Amino acid sequence: MLRISQQSSTPLYIVSMIKSTHHPKYKALIDWLIAARTTQEITVRQLAELIDEDFSLITKIETRVRKLSAIEYYQYCEALELDPMEGIRIMKSVK
């Protein structure tokens, strides 16, 4: 994180956006979602049906071929009855 000076008393920081689906934070998030789905014994096809998407979308997300959007993440969590904030906490815990 790079601090930038400015005229107000609140500093601004430059933070790099995670662009890769192979970043450790993103991997931890997807691993958490997969673990929740498999623990609940929900198949990829069943999850796809719950969120009204094609199963290939779920497969691409879980194999980290395609990024999960914020709305898709929320729907994923809702379908699996997960707290979306828990996924955020998991990503924050990864260095």
Q: Mean pLDDT by 10-residue block, N- to C-terminus, for the chain (95 residues)?
A: 57 74 94 98 97 96 95 96 97 93
Phi, psi of 10 (to 5 degrees): -90, 120
Question: Residue 4: which H helix or E strand, with range?
Answer: strand 2-4
**Amino acid 90: pLDDT:** 97
Separation of alpha carbons 41 and 93, rounded Å: 26
pTM of the model: 0.82
Q: What domains can you pick out in the chain, each with its CATH number?
A: 18-93 (1.10.260.40)
What's the token pair of residue 78? 């809702």
**Amino acid 4: pLDDT:** 53
Separation of alpha carbons 42 and 36, rounded Å: 9
**Amino acid 18: pLDDT:** 77
Is the Cβ–Cβ distance between 50 and 40 less than 8 Å?
Answer: no
**Amino acid 37: pLDDT:** 97
**Amino acid 21: pLDDT:** 87
